[in-house]
Amino acid sequence: MGLSAINALYQVKIDKAELDKLGQIEWGALWPAWIVSGGILLILLADLILPKSQKNALAILSFITLVAAVASAFTLMDNKASAFQGMVAADDLSRYMAALIFGAGALVILASPDYFSRIGVEARSEYYALMLAAITGMWLLAVSLNLMVFFVALELFSLPLYVLAGFLPRSLRGHEAGFKYFLLSSFATAFMLYGMALLFGVSGTTQFNGIAAYFTKNGVSGDYGILALVGLGMLSVGFAFKVSAVPFHMWTPDVYEGSPTPVTALMAVGTKAAIIAAFLRVYTGMLEPIKLQWQPIIFVLAIVTMIVGNMMALSQQSVKRLLAYSAIAQAGYLLVGIASDNSLGREGVLFYLFSYTLMTLGAFTVILALEGPRGEGQDISYFTGLARNHPGLAAVMTVCLLSLGGIPPTAGFFGKALVFGSAVQAGGWYLALALVGVATSVIAVFYYFRIVVQMYMAGDSTRKVVEGRPGWALVFVLMVTSIGTLTLGILAGPAFEWAKQAVAFLR
């Protein structure tokens, strides 16, 4: 400490306001999380009071909680702001992710009671509480600026999901899914934790900006360089697993297929959103100084994920598995934007995430609306003649599939155009990302259109898939997702501006 600083310490009258600030905890930075935590307690209590016939109120309560969380997100602090001594971000990206994750969660929750009543399982308060906990964990992961917070958030959303995957009683596949997810995910978490430990060991801090500062100064040279690289590698394995990138994708189809469909939807949408946001904060933020080291990793991951995900999807007979592989493939497209590592890539990734959330959620909701008591209705042949029996469901599915296929004027098209654009802008070898993306997009159209063909063109099936019409809550979810997908495709500008604003601070 320099002499002048010591002098200053003695001479300056300590500012009262400054002092207050030091001891102050910025509770406001985590408003959405507080609200949802409160909601969890309320739901657990309400379960005790509510009569058996009124249990659907739990879903409404959860929905309201999540909507309130989205609303509260807009009271977060300004851009570049962080709270809790820089451990948690309260910036535009936090806000964007809050809208995305809590919004998607709210829709999933809204669709749940219909599903459970149809398959004849009573969804008790545990279900909603676990869902809310998982959703909160996802958002916390997206806003963490510290390895410790990051890890706690990771566990906060992973643990409820293990339970939720095996939530259905008497479902062998469900239990298998839960167990498989637990086992494999724990491995991945362990890898990640080891990687974090190494990064901490190298840099001496768990703060993202501290680690970034270390790397800016030292790079990966010196004695610790090799440790940093091993840490980066292990961290990447964990990330790749969580985002279901090839070759760490093996769990995805089994878990997606075995889990109750609303849980699958949350896994497909929420987990991916959280991890991608974390990707942005960790790779293009914290690890930016050593981008030459991680860019090749993400580059390769993106290419194999696009190729394998799409190729595997081609031969699937179960729509849920097909969408699982499609989710893997979509992870590949998202990674393209991250690998290109330019501002268009980051903005494109966020926009893509928005459209991915809407279209994937829409597709899963249609499956959910068709599922029978014993999990039937997942086979592609179940969609035969759907356009005749349920034209609305068929239309929603078609919009979502076209968007997943990247056909304008849907949201998916702009998502793809932006991330491919970022690869093209990066130039050189990155052009390969765009070309592989294009080639695999054509493959993707094969399997997405297979479902469309079944719905509209395959022989006349008189089989009634589902008796009756979907309930109003389900209809609401279907409307929001399909109209959102179309609107985002036609009025892409504002959403893109928002995404742009949200990642502006990263560079």
Q: Are 425 and 342 in contact (CB under 8 A)?
A: yes
Q: Which residue has the tokens 């320099």?
A: 2
Q: Helix crossing, 431-456 with 291-314: angle to 10°?
A: 20
We find the least distance from the C-beta atom of residue 407 to other proteins, in angstroms, to be: 6
We find the least distance from the C-beta atom of residue 348 to other proteins, in angstroms, to be: 9
We find the least distance from the C-beta atom of residue 491 to other proteins, in angstroms, to be: 9
DSSP 91: S
We find the least distance from the C-beta atom of residue 296 to other proteins, in angstroms, to be: 22
We find the least distance from the C-beta atom of residue 459 to other proteins, in angstroms, to be: 9
Any bridge partners for residue 89, and if so which?
Answer: 82
We find the least distance from the C-beta atom of residue 431 to other proteins, in angstroms, to be: 8
- Nearer to other proteins among residue 35 and residue 445 (C-beta): 445
We find the least distance from the C-beta atom of residue 416 to other proteins, in angstroms, to be: 8
Which spans of this chain sit near other proteins (rule: CB under 8 A)?
344, 347, 402, 407-409, 413-414, 417-418, 420-421, 424-425, 427, 431, 434-435, 438, 441-442, 445-446, 449, 453, 456-458, 492-493, 496, 500
- Nearer to other proteins among residue 325 and residue 496 (C-beta): 496
- Nearer to other proteins among residue 235 and residue 418 (C-beta): 418
We find the least distance from the C-beta atom of residue 408 to other proteins, in angstroms, to be: 4
Q: Helix crossing, 172-203 with 208-218: angle to 10°?
A: 50
DSSP 14: P
- Nearer to other proteins among residue 338 and residue 455 (C-beta): 455
Q: Helix crossing, 56-73 with 31-49: angle to 10°?
A: 170
Task: Tell me phi and psi for residue 505, to 5 degrees.
Answer: -75, -15
Q: Are 286 and 211 in contact (CB under 8 A)?
A: yes
Question: DSSP letters along 203-252, please?
Answer: HS--BHHHHHHHHHHHTT-STTHHHHHHHHHHHHHHHHHHTT-TTS-THH
DSSP 77: -
- Nearer to other proteins among residue 150 and residue 413 (C-beta): 413
3-state secondary structure 105-159: HHHHHHHHHHHHHHHCCCCCHHHHHHHHHHHHHHHHHHHECEHHHHHHHHHHHHH
* Residue 476 CB neighbours (<10 A): 14
* Residue 304 CB neighbours (<10 A): 17
Residues 6+ apart with CB under 8 A from 37: 136
Any bridge partners for residue 146, and if so which?
Answer: 207
Return the ∠ at Cα 28 (arms to 24 and 30), rounded to 5°: 115
We find the least distance from the C-beta atom of residue 487 to other proteins, in angstroms, to be: 14
Q: How far is the C-alpha of 78 from the C-alpha of 26, rounded, in Å?
A: 13
Instruction: Label the pairing between strands 82-83 and 88-89.
Output: antiparallel
Return the ∠ at Cα 62 (arms to 371 and 494), rounded to 5°: 85
- Nearer to other proteins among residue 2 and residue 493 (C-beta): 493
We find the least distance from the C-beta atom of residue 141 to other proteins, in angstroms, to be: 28
Q: How far is the C-alpha of 192 from the C-alpha of 20, rounded, in Å?
A: 37
Q: Residue 115's closest CA among 381, 392, 371, 299?
A: 371
We find the least distance from the C-beta atom of residue 140 to other proteins, in angstroms, to be: 30
- Nearer to other proteins among residue 146 and residue 410 (C-beta): 410
- Nearer to other proteins among residue 408 and residue 471 (C-beta): 408
Q: How far is the C-alpha of 260 from the C-alpha of 112, rounded, in Å?
A: 10
We find the least distance from the C-beta atom of residue 418 to other proteins, in angstroms, to be: 7
We find the least distance from the C-beta atom of residue 479 to other proteins, in angstroms, to be: 16
DSSP 76: S
- Nearer to other proteins among residue 233 and residue 409 (C-beta): 409
- Nearer to other proteins among residue 21 and residue 388 (C-beta): 388
- Nearer to other proteins among residue 222 and residue 427 (C-beta): 427
- Nearer to other proteins among residue 115 and residue 430 (C-beta): 430
Any bridge partners for residue 379, and if so which?
Answer: 318
- Nearer to other proteins among residue 224 and residue 449 (C-beta): 449
